[in-house]
Amino acid sequence: MQPLLQMRGISKAFPGVQALDDVSLEVGRGEVVALVGENGAGKSTLIKILSGCYRADAGTTVLDGQQLGHYSPRQAQDLGISVIYQEFNLAPTLSVAENVFVGREPRTRLGLVDFRQMHADAQVILDSLHLPLDSRRIVGSLSVAEQQMVEIAKAISFQAKIIVMDEPTAVLTEHETATLFQLVRRLCDQDVSVIYISHRLEEMFEVADRVVVLRDGRRVGSMPIAEATVAKVVHLMVGRELTEMFHKERIEWGEPVLEVRSLSRAAGKVRDVSLTVHAGEIVGMAGLVGAGRTDIAQAIFGVDRYDRGDIQVCGRPARIRSPLDAIRAGMGFVTEDRQAQGLFLVLAVRENMSSASLGRLSTADFVQFASERQLVASLIDQLRIRTPSQEQEVQYLSGGNQQKVILARWLALRPKVLLLDEPTRGIDVGAKAEIYALMGELARQGVGILMISSELPEILGMSDRVLVVRRGSIVAEFDRDEATQEAIMHRATGGQ
């Protein structure tokens, strides 16, 4: 049977970068193809060509037996190609039905919006997918998982033949992820094809029929999921064996570098939190989504003001009322959302890296640009950041390299304490290994690290101690040798 989608010999170059080089991709009817590769491998470029956002320099695209010429994103939707990005394209103040049919609302004979018909049509789509949603619900009141379902319903309303899902489980709970996988299977039963992009390789085995691997803009492998293993896929992705993902050595701890006592914030999820981090120690903070882990980190760093409690850094009381107070005390904070909270996307790599160090790089209020460039060059080399130059806008770097730029900003200050909130979210397996190696090196240098992560293998692999957070409080503490996934989840879900 002829594949539903055939992309043949696709190439695309940008100034100084060959993003895609002779890449081919085939997707059968009702098939789920996992598209994997490191950040910068070319996945996003390939999908943007498929969706009409970019034009390929070379190659052809055939959909349902029809060779496509140049087409726009709207024409792609009309052809049956839909892309669901990590950042949803929904209007939060409108209903589910209004979002599904936005710009295509059914009309009465008088030309007015036929709301009754629109809600009825939307409900038919929701019911056909077994989605437990009311078409009249306001989208802003829905959970992230429910909003994702609305995006899928919108795609089906365009009579989608192929749906691309980009990191669809990045912010979903385990239960919500299982629900999404059931929905993907129902789509396939209706002969809808899915291209599934995720850095969570274990998900391939739950949802995909086949896996296609890109590396450095080339297709380097394809195999049925029955023949795939994580080791095989990782080797294709990074071009080398990853014999050890977690570079964690046992290090003799020094004195406490961070001591928090009875920290509370009535307006947030911080309730009587006490913790200690020693020099050279990595303390993992685990818990369910919404448990309050980020709230605790933000209170410690002064993003949110706490109501009571005490903080000491390197044995000295620290009155933290703003991030500037925390920085002056010797702390750094890599936030959960690097694009919204951590980076100045339209500024250069140089400017992002040096932004917290301008006081040290200035004389008489003038930045010493030679010193700045020298510092940035050394950090780019140390962290092996892939960028054409220091002047490259950071928005054009891959996710892993963006994360390294944020880390570099704090390393320039030589912090005593580093707070890491989801340090490897949305980055590929090769970049993860490099981040872990860097964390290990910082610990050897005596930096104390408090790491928040939703990935239990990461918590178990990198932590010397594990703190479990539930409803804004620390409910359990485990040493490295006694921590297990079962024990952590038992306490995170309310067990004693």
CATH number, domain containing residue 189? 3.40.50.300
Same-domain check for residues 228 and 281: no
Q: How far apart are CA 105 and CA 204, in angstroms?
A: 37
* pLDDT score of 495: 64
Contact 155, 85 (CB under 8 A): no
Q: How far apart are CA 116 and CA 453, in angstroms?
A: 45
Query: Does the residue 251 lie in any domain?
Result: no
Quote the percentage of the chain above a pLDDT of 90: 43
Q: Which phi and psi angles does 174 have, rounded to 5°?
A: -60, -40
* pLDDT score of 299: 94
Same-domain check for residues 212 and 287: no
Q: Which of residues 238, 268, 298 is at a domain's end?
A: 238
Query: Does the residue 403 lie in any domain?
Result: yes
Same-domain check for residues 216 and 329: no
Q: Identify the sign of the CA torsion 169, 170, 174, 176.
A: negative
Same-domain check for residues 130 and 157: yes
Q: Which of residues 238, 267, 291 is at a domain's end?
A: 238
Say how many domains are in the chain.
2
Query: Does the residue 244 lie in any domain?
Result: no
Q: Identify the sign of the CA torsion 440, 442, 447, 450.
A: negative
Query: Does the residue 243 lie in any domain?
Result: no
Count CB atoms within 10 A of the CB of residue 353: 29
Instruction: For the chain, 496 residues long, give each residue's pLDDT as a single digit of tens.
Output: 689 999 999 999 987 778 899 999 999 999 999 999 876 788 989 999 999 999 999 999 999 999 998 999 999 989 999 998 877 788 999 999 999 998 888 898 988 989 999 999 999 989 888 888 899 999 999 888 888 888 888 888 888 999 999 888 876 777 788 888 988 998 999 899 999 998 778 888 989 999 999 988 999 999 999 999 888 888 888 765 544 567 667 788 999 999 999 999 987 789 999 999 999 999 999 987 778 899 999 999 999 989 999 999 999 999 999 999 999 999 999 887 777 777 888 888 888 888 877 777 777 777 778 888 888 898 888 888 888 888 898 888 877 788 888 888 888 888 999 999 988 877 777 778 888 888 888 899 999 999 999 878 889 889 999 999 988 999 999 998 898 888 888 888 776 6
DSSP string, 13-58: EETTEEEEEEEEEEE-TT-EEEEE--TTSSHHHHHHHHTTSS--SE
Same-domain check for residues 366 and 456: yes
Query: Does the residue 248 lie in any domain?
Result: no
Q: How far apart are CA 30 and CA 348, in angstroms?
A: 43
Same-domain check for residues 91 and 118: yes
Q: pLDDT of 248-306, one tens digit each?
A: 677 889 999 999 999 999 877 899 999 999 999 999 999 877 788 999 999 999 999 89
* pLDDT score of 242: 45
How many alpha carbons fall within 13 Å on the CB side of residue 405?
31
Domain of 321, in residue numbers? 256-492
Same-domain check for residues 76 and 176: yes
Q: Is 487 helix (H, G, I), strand (E, B) or coil?
A: helix
Q: What is the model's pTM?
A: 0.61
Same-domain check for residues 298 and 231: no
Query: Does the residue 245 lie in any domain?
Result: no
207 burial (CB, 10 Å; 0-12 / 13-18 / 19+) is buried
Query: Does the residue 246 lie in any domain?
Result: no
Q: What Cα–Cα distance (Å) separates residue 314 from each residue in 260, 276, 278, 331?
A: 12, 11, 9, 10
